[in-house]
Amino acid sequence: MSSFGVTVVGHDRPGIVADITGALGAHGGNLEDSSMTLLRGHFAWTLIVDLDASLAEVDEAVDPLRAAELLVSVVELPVEAIEPDAPTHWLNVHGSDRPGIVSAVTREIAANGGNITDLSTRLVGSLYVVSADVTLPATTDNQELVRRLSAAATELGVEISLRPVDSVDVF
Q: Nearest-CA neighbor of 48 among 1, 109, 101?
A: 1
| pLDDT for residue 166 | 81
For strand 127-135 and strand 115-124, is the pairing parallel, antiparallel, or unpaired?
antiparallel
pLDDT above 90: percentage of residues in the chain:
85
* Report field, pTM of the whole predicted structure over 0.85: no
Bridge partners of 123, per DSSP, are 128
In the CATH scheme, what is the code of domain 2-77?
3.30.70.260
C-alpha pair distances (Å), 25 with each of 31, 48, 57, 112: 8, 13, 13, 41
Given pLDDT bands bounded at 50, 70 and 90, which one contains residue 83? confident
The answer to whether residue 170 scores a pLDDT higher than 60 is no
Alpha-carbon distances of 117 from 69, 91, 109, 135, rounded to whole Å: 29, 11, 12, 7
pLDDT at 169: 52
Give CATH 3.30.70.260 domain extents, the chain.
2-77, 89-164
Q: What is the pLDDT of residues 145-167, one digit of tens each?
A: 999 999 999 999 999 999 999 85
Query: What is the structure's pLDDT at 168?
Result: 56
Query: Long-range contacts of range 103-111, CB-CB < 8 Å, 24 or more positions apart?
Result: 104/152, 104/155, 104/156, 105/130, 105/149, 105/152, 105/156, 105/160, 106/132, 108/145, 108/148, 108/149, 108/152, 109/134, 109/136, 109/145, 111/148
Pick from 153, 97, 87, 150: which is nearest to 125 by CA?
97
Handedness of CA 15, 21, 25, 26 (dihedral sign): positive
User: Between these two residues, 81 and 134, which has the higher pLDDT value?
Assistant: 134
- Tens of pLDDT along 4-17? 999 999 999 999 99
- In this structure, which CATH number among 3.40.640.10, 3.30.360.10, 3.30.70.260, 3.30.870.10 belongs to the domain 89-164? 3.30.70.260
Mean residue pLDDT of the chain comes to 92
